[in-house]
């Protein structure tokens, strides 16, 4: 063989090796895999009857893994002991369900995986896989369908549990606080409709929960609840509406704690209104108290004078029917001192007020030591307001467009609960924006049934502007900060001027709320007047 031929064969051989190596592994480019995994077999088969085992295996045509199982998986009826499901962290060609609970006789069970089963590479989900079996001779096949809405928000939250409690000799309304339901489903993350499937004929109570703890029981403090007023009979072809709401939390006092030389904090749950705090036993001569509230947390501050000369005492905390007694041990801490802080912005809107808050309760206000002048140094008349609970002092006055104001508060204006006075001079400029920097909105209510609360809310459902109308179908919002709002109406059924939520045990639904369609609303712009017609449905 000639040297040239040897050289050529050598080059070809090296080339073949390079091509062979290049073909190994995953090719670059190519079409992305968009196909979900396929089920090859189920053991025992799906929809089996007379199920006696404790293990289920589902085999796929490719490696799969489980994603967001805690959110996605719904087992109906719920099990007291959660099953073990493999693979827990990696990938496998099959999913194994190991049942740890004792199964009920003659019961249809459904494992709703949602979209938690995905292929290992592209995470294409197997869509809404359900595995169903019965411990009896038949598979229950009836359904209850409906939809969920939120009492106040435009859209309900995701992953709402919808549950059926069987109404039998053991049923009571309080069952939702302590027992799991007979059947359950979930609205998942994209729809507000629900379908509870594979249930048997009977009478049920229909409940919806935004179940924060994922324990299928109602926690008044943390969960939203919705309920259908009457029992429902299955089979049924009705679509049921469930309205989620936060209940007014029942008042509960929490153990107090010394927070200053003569200040005790009393945390609580529920509403602080009508709360009374009294000493059980003797108090020092000339004893007096004040109560203020933290503006952010559910905390009351109990201020007292003079100091106790004993180590411990007892406090009785009451709120309507609630009464509790707490033993309190006094501690030696520094005394609180009086200081003030301005909490209102300089660019005040026309319906807002200059606001100042103090660190200790204000007892007296000397208005003669407060002055308010405009940009021409002309005195401006004003009023004063004091909120004793929030310990805030406000100065309402009429603001004129194009004006600038200066407020001066001299030393000695404020005297607190302990006889201390403010020692610094407070000077603040107040510069209202031009009205041309705001927008104006007129809402014409069609088919209005009074009284109504009309609100402009932000994208979190928080109220930014509110009007109450008892007879006029035309409502005006002036000097509105430019941005996008939603407009909603609350039907004030009990005519108390505020929104009232529902109560499950009392069978009370929340007051009805209607939103104006977003498609009819524009973003508020400066110097623009908007007129909307809001048609209210009966």
Structural domains of the chain, ranges and CATH numbers in brackets = 39-134 (2.60.40.1220), 142-244 (2.60.40.1120), 252-329 (2.60.40), 340-433 (2.60.40.1220), 436-535 (2.60.40.1120)
What is the DSSP code string of 390-430?
TTEEEE-----TT--EEEEE-TTSEEETTS-B--S-EEEEE
Residue 157 is predicted with a pLDDT of: 87
- pLDDT, tens digit, 9 for 90 and up, residues 115-146: 899 999 999 999 889 999 999 999 999 999 99
Residue 120 is predicted with a pLDDT of: 93
Counts for the chain of helices (H) and strands (E), in that order? 2, 40
DSSP lists the bridge partners of residue 334 as none
Q: Are 360 and 401 in contact (CB under 8 A)?
A: no
Three-state DSSP class for 49? coil
Consecutive H or E run containing 170: none
Residue 294 clears pLDDT 90, i.e. is over it:
yes
Residue 1 clears pLDDT 50, i.e. is over it:
no
Percent of the chain with pLDDT over 90: 86
Token digits for 70?
């805690």
- pLDDT, tens digit, 9 for 90 and up, residues 483-496: 999 999 999 999 99
For the segment 68-80, the average pLDDT, to the nearest whole number, is 90
* 235 contact partners, CB below 8 Å, separation of at least 6: 142, 201
More confident residue, 72 or 172: 172
Alpha carbons within 13 A on the beta-carbon side of 117:
31
Q: What is the 3-state secondary structure (H, E, C) of 191-254?
A: CCEEEEEEECCEEEEEEEEECCCCCCCCCCCCCEEEECCCCEEECCCCEEEEEEECCCCCCEEC
Residue 128 is predicted with a pLDDT of: 86
Token digits for 81?
């002991």
Token digits for 176?
């939702």
Token digits for 197?
């499937």
DSSP lists the bridge partners of residue 538 as none
Residue 5 clears pLDDT 50, i.e. is over it:
no
Lowest-pLDDT choice from 6-20, 89-103, 266-280, 522-536: 6-20
Instruction: Estimate to the nearest angstrom the gap between the alpha carbon of 208 and the chain centroid.
Output: 15
* 264 contact partners, CB below 8 Å, separation of at least 6: 256, 257, 258, 301, 302, 304, 315, 328
Q: Other C-beta atoms within 10 Å of 142: how many?
A: 15
- pLDDT, tens digit, 9 for 90 and up, residues 444-473: 999 999 999 999 999 999 999 999 999 999
Residue 23 is predicted with a pLDDT of: 43
* 12 contact partners, CB below 8 Å, separation of at least 6: none
For the segment 92-107, the average pLDDT, to the nearest whole number, is 96
Token digits for 129?
């896989």
Q: Are 228 and 171 in contact (CB under 8 A)?
A: no
Residue 16 clears pLDDT 50, i.e. is over it:
no
Residue 72 is predicted with a pLDDT of: 86
The reported pTM is 0.85
Token digits for 295?
């503006």
End-to-end Cα separation, the chain, in angstroms: 100
């Amino acid at each position: 063989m000639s040297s040239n031929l040897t050289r050529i064969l050598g080059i070809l051989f090296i080339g073949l090796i390079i091509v062979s190596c290049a073909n190994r592994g995953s090719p670059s480019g190519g079409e992305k895999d968009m196909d979900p995994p396929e089920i090859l077999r189920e053991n025992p088969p799906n929809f089996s009857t007379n199920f006696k085992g404790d293990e289920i295996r589902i085999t796929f045509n490719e490696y799969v893994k489980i994603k967001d199982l805690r959110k996605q998986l719904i087992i109906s009826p719920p099990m007291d002991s959660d099953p073990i499901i493999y693979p827990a962290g990696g990938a496998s060609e099959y999913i194994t369900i190991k049942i740890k609970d004792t199964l009920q006789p003659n019961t249809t069970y459904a494992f709703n995986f949602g979209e938690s089963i995905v292929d290992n590479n592209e995470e294409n989900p197997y869509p809404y896989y359900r595995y169903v079996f019965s411990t009896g001779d038949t598979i229950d096949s009836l359904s209850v369908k409906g939809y969920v809405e939120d009492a106040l928000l435009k859209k309900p939250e995701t992953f709402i549990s919808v549950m059926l409690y069987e109404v039998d000799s053991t049923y009571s309304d309080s069952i939702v606080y302590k027992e799991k339901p007979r059947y359950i489903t979930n609205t998942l993350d994209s729809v507000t409709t629900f379908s509870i499937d594979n249930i048997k004929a009977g009478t049920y109570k229909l409940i919806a929960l935004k179940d924060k703890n994922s324990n299928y029981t109602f926690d008044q403090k943390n969960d939203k609840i919705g309920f259908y007023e009457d029992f429902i009979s299955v089979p049924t072809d009705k679509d049921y509406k469930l309205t989620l709401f936060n209940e007014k939390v029942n008042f509960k006092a929490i153990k107090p704690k010394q927070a200053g030389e003569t200040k005790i904090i009393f945390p609580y749950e529920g509403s602080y209104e009508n709360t009374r705090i009294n000493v059980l036993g003797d108090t020092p001569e000339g004893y007096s108290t004040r109560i203020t509230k933290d503006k952010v947390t559910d905390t009351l501050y109990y201020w007292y004078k003079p100091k106790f000369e004993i180590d411990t005492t007892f406090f009785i905390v009451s709120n309507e029917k609630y009464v509790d007694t707490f033993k309190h041990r006094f501690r030696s801490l520094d005394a609180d001192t009086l200081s003030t802080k301005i909490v209102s912005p300089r660019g005040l809107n026309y319906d807002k007020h200059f606001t100042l808050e103090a660190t200790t309760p204000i007892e007296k206000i000397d208005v003669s030591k407060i002055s308010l002048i405009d940009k021409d140094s002309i005195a401006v008349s004003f009023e004063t307001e004091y909120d004793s609970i929030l310990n805030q002092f406000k100065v309402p006055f009429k603001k004129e467009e194009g004006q600038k104001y200066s407020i001066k508060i001299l030393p000695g204006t404020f005297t607190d609960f302990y006889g201390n006075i403010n020692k610094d001079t407070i000077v603040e400029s107040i510069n209202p924006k031009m009205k041309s920097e705001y927008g104006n909105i007129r809402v014409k209510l069609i088919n209005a049934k009074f009284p109504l609360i009309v609100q402009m809310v932000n994208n979190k459902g928080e109220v930014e502007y509110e009007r109450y109308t008892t007879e006029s179908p035309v409502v005006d919002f002036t000097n509105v900060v430019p941005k996008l709002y939603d407009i909603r109406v609350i039907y004030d059924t009990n005519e108390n001027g505020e929104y009232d939520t529902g109560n499950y045990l009392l069978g009370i639904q929340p007051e009805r709320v209607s939103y104006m369609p977003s498609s009819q609303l524009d973003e508020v712009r400066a110097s623009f007047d908007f007129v909307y017609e809001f048609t209210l449905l009966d």
